[in-house]
Structure formats: C-alpha cells, structure tokens
Amino acid sequence: MDPNNDVRFLGRSVTSLQTMLRVIALYDKSCPAVIPDGIYGEQTARAVAVQQKRAGLPQTGITDFATWQAVCRAYQSAAVEVEPAAPLDIVMNPNQVILEGSNNLHVLLIQAMLQTLHEVYANVEGCALTGACDEQTICAIRSLQRCCGAPESGILDKRLWQLLAGLYNQAVGDGDRKAHCGG
C-alpha cells in the first residue's frame, strides 16, 4: 500500500471519511453506519466497499483518491436531506429598524411568523398578512415584546428579529401541525 494514496494513513481524514459515511447511512439505511472514531477498522472498510460498489469502483475497502471523491459526492447528496435546512437570515444593516409605515420587504415574512406564533401561543397577537407595516403589525410586535419581557417599543430591530426567529423555530420546529397542535 502507498501511504500517500491511502486515506487510512492521513490522520484526521479518517474521522472526516467516517463522518461522511455516517451521514450517508442516515440518509440511506442500506448503507452500514460508521462511528467516527478515527480508527480505520473493519466497519469503515465495509462501508467504504459499499460506496465503491455504488460508484462502480473496485471493492477494496481502501480509500484511494477516486473512492474519496465518490464518498464526497454521495455525502453531498445525503447531507441535503439529513442536515437541517438552511437558516433564513434576513439582512438588517447596523441600527436599521422597521417602524410603522416602513416600506420593507421583510414585513410580510415577519407578519407570517407573528401569525404563526399567535396560532401556537394565544397570548401573542396575530396580524393580517398585508406586507404593510401597519398598526395591527405594530400591535402584534408589542404583544410579542410584552410576552417576552422586552420593552414594548413596537420597533423591529435586530434584537427583536433574533427573538422572533428563535421563538418561531422553537415553537414550530419542523412545521408539522400534527406534532405541534395535537391534531
């Protein structure tokens, strides 16, 4: 074996390989699960051989460059399904605020989040989905601020966005109504 062409001899690469194999196995239950322990043992070699077979490579259980690339491709496909969805980070400039009457495209998203929180928590006021930062939206923002012990300014700034996004993620989770509404 050529130590320069065999990932088993590359230290941290073994753990990276095993982590990728583990994600692939989470997505595809027919693939053997691997514990990322940094040891290139029989379990890792078996999982590598499965990936080699799927990629049309010789089933040696040894991770050469072609196998590494095949595992990386399989991992990238699996990670999309296994890893959490990309977070939505709205862009707010330093000291930017959204006030009543503001013309901001984020308002419709904020209204939808506030309305959803209203459905989950009765003490948070909801608002119509108009896209306009109107009086009803400001009242819903104040309601959220009141429920969370924040100053009731009715202003949406970065701090309130973090509070809103965090509470929304916690309340809604994967979005399955049955899991969150007992239906």
pLDDT tens string 112-126? 999 999 999 989 999
How high is the pLDDT of residue 1? Answer: 46
Instruction: Report, as an integer, the average pLDDT of 51-66.
Output: 95
- Interval 124-161: pLDDT, tens: 999 999 999 999 999 999 999 999 899 999 999 998 99
How high is the pLDDT of residue 114? Answer: 95
Left if phi > 0, otherwise alpha if psi is -120 to 50, otherwise beta: which for 65? alpha
Report helix, strand or coil for 82: helix
How high is the pLDDT of residue 179? Answer: 55
Instruction: Report, as an integer, the average pLDDT of 55-64.
Output: 95
How high is the pLDDT of residue 6? Answer: 52
> Is residue 67 a contact partner of residue 52, using CB atoms and an 8 Å limit?
yes
Residue with tokens 């707010």: 92
Mean pLDDT of the chain: 88
Bridge partners, residue 156, by sequence: 98
How high is the pLDDT of residue 3? Answer: 44
How high is the pLDDT of residue 88? Answer: 81
